[in-house]
Amino acid sequence: MFGILKKKLRQSVETLVKKAETEEPQEAAEAPSKEAAAAQREEAEAPQPTKKGGLSRLTGRITVKEFSESEIDGFFSDIETDLLQANLALEVIDHMKAGLKERLVGKPVPRKDAKSVIRGTFREILLGIVAVDPVDIEGVIKAAKAEGRPACILFLGFNGSGKTTTIAKISDMLKRKGYRPVLAAADTFRAASIEQLQVHADRLGIGVIKHQYGADPAAVIFDARKHAESRKLDVVMADSAGRMHTNANLMDELKKIIRVNKPDLRILVVDSLTGNDVVSQVRTFSEEVGIDGLVLTKMDVNEKGGSVISACYTSGKPVLYIGRGQEYSDLERFDPERFVDGILE
């Protein structure tokens, strides 16, 4: 998994390490930094060194590397196309560039420690993007129950993203933990969507509330909430239509669903194979209706992986789960540190 992203980021780290370990120090063309100027004054005022002292200073100069802004710019100019091909959005690449400059430019990097310092810098930048405070679905359900009502979780996403299957996977997980969910078939637009959700409900032994095709989706979810309240169920898992995210009618429909039903969570399901279109999808749903978290699907066949980082950066929201297959058990809680270490290993 993530073979391409791993390769590109590993090459990026190795390229900077090679620069740090092998290039001779360059005489600075511009005025020295405050720290460098202070060091020069201190050296000028110091007593004349012995041969050993002079050798120590020379060794220090040779064994320490300081990156310049132009070196970082040139490095990213060389690798930008490769990172774009790994589905890292341009704004993410710019963020990484700014992060490397902030952490490396003008900072002495011991050549012997170059690999650990540079890898650690990449790790810190990537964790800063993907390690967003997680959403506790069980905590949300318990909080709603304390108020004497069922929780309502609305799932959003483009057709083909794996949204309906994700609803079934999370419902199965919740049921196995002792919660009692009910499904709301609020995608009344796509042919066979209601039947697809019903198949999952039958397999899982979970109820489903549905109307006819063309019915008001907000009314479907409202009825599901009332049903769950009367039966003392814990959570309504609401499907929604997923035609093109640029479709104004869809966004108006979703806004009405939210206005009428006030869902506790809005989870966007994204196909991780979508490529850089992930950014436009995430941005549109975030700006139009708001999201609380993400689920990335089809991760078991994703060789690029940059879509995960791009989705987190664009939304500022956490990835809650990743889908790795079609079985109900093929759902994994997203671990930011494991993800970052996996692509930098």
129-148 burial, b at 16+ Cβ within 10 Å, e below that, comes to bbebeebebeebbeebeeee
pTM: 0.82
Going by C-alpha positions, the residue among 192, 191, 186 that lies closest to residue 216 is 186
Per the structure block, which two tokens stand in for 256? Answer: 């009405």
pLDDT at residue number 34? 54
CATH topology of domain 137-344: Rossmann fold (3.40.50)
Cα radius of gyration (the chain): 26
**CB-based burial label for 52 (10 Å; 0-12, 13-18, 19+):** exposed
pLDDT digits (tens, 9 = 90+) for 312-331: 999 999 999 999 888 999 99
Per the structure block, which two tokens stand in for 29? Answer: 């063309």
Domain with CATH 3.40.50.300 in the chain: 137-344
How many whole angstroms separate alpha carbon 248 and alpha carbon 216? 16
pLDDT at residue number 18? 77
Going by C-alpha positions, the residue among 337, 299, 344 that lies closest to residue 162 is 299
Homologous superfamily, domain 3-130: SRP54, nucleotide-binding domain (1.20.120.140)
Per the structure block, which two tokens stand in for 205? Answer: 């032994």
pLDDT digits (tens, 9 = 90+) for 6-49: 676 777 777 777 777 665 544 434 445 555 555 545 544 544 44
Domain with CATH 1.20.120.140 in the chain: 3-130
pLDDT at residue number 45? 52
Which residue is it, tokens 């609803």? 167
Tens digits of pLDDT across the chain (345 residues): 556 666 767 777 777 777 776 655 444 344 455 555 555 455 445 444 433 333 333 334 447 778 889 888 888 888 888 888 888 889 999 999 999 999 989 888 888 888 888 889 989 999 999 999 889 999 999 999 999 999 999 999 988 889 999 999 999 999 999 999 999 999 998 888 999 999 999 999 999 999 999 999 999 999 999 999 999 999 999 999 886 545 678 889 999 999 999 999 999 999 888 877 888 889 999 999 999 999 999 888 776 678 889 999 999 999 999 998 889 999 999 999 998 888 887
